[in-house]
Amino acid sequence: MREVIFDTETTGLDPKTGDRMVEIGCIEMVGRIETGRTFHAYFNPDRDMPPEAERVHGLSAAFLATKPPFAELADELLVFLDDAPLVAHNAGFDFGFLNNELELAGRAAIALDRMVDTVAIARRKHPGAKLSLDALCTRYGIDRSHRVKHGALLDAELLAQVYIELTGGRQIGLGLADSPADSLMIVQPIANAPWHRPPADKPRREPRPHVASPEELERHRAFIAGIAEAIWTR
């Protein structure tokens, strides 16, 4: 199954009050495996960048002024998303901004039934625990040392690893693959491995007989005959 993991950066918290999306990063996964295909873009929000938002992601108004408006890249983004489920952390926030930009660009909104929220998954799996992306990376041992500031593509890459862990990890050959070929795990034998043959100085034991002796067969017949009301005699 194809899925797209994505993250956004914005000018604030609420598109209904004029906040805009300024960055989006998308990671393609097929069968819970990253394919290497990504979509990443910055957008000119045609408004100022509040200092508190810039401190989070480091994107200044001057930097974004040289970027295209969302409408110019909307179709390219929609082609990448296609009809795949869209996975995001606190997905309602990202969907709200994405659909707001699509509406402003004259495009149809993305249906909410395509939304997969990793916060909701984490809350069911780890009730009472911290659910931030940083906290989940720590829980699952995912290296985020290169994450100095928030960035849409970087956060999507981290989320892809978290999503794999939240949905069972990379289990090979347990029926999670899309096709039988995807579930095969080929183990190459190690040439001349010591367990392939016993050491030359180890004494060999004669093969053990596996056929019952006549005496054992007779004792067995006597035992069976002594069972009262045996079901095989009915």
Known catalytic membership, residue 150: yes
Q: Which residues are within 8 A (CB) of 227 and not within 5 positions of it... i.e. 6 or more apart?
A: none
Calculate the alpha carbon distances from 2 to 76, 90, 112, 170, 207 in Å: 18, 20, 17, 16, 54
What is the spatial distance between Cα 172 and Cα 232, in angstroms, rounded to a whole number?
46
> Which residue type is seen at 62?
A
What is the spatial distance between Cα 44 and Cα 70, in angstroms, rounded to a whole number?
7
Q: What φ, ψ does residue 15 adopt, rounded to 5°? A: -65, -20
What is the spatial distance between Cα 41 and Cα 160, in angstroms, rounded to a whole number?
18
Q: Of 85, 89, 76, nearest to 38 (Cα)?
A: 76
> Rounded to a whole number, what is the largest CA-CA distance in the chain?
97
Q: Are 111 and 95 in contact (CB under 8 A)?
A: no
> Which residue type is seen at 200?
A
Q: Are 162 and 142 in contact (CB under 8 A)?
A: yes
Catalytic residue among 40, 57, 150, 210: 150
For residue 141 the two structure tokens come to 């041992």
Active centre residues (catalytic): 150
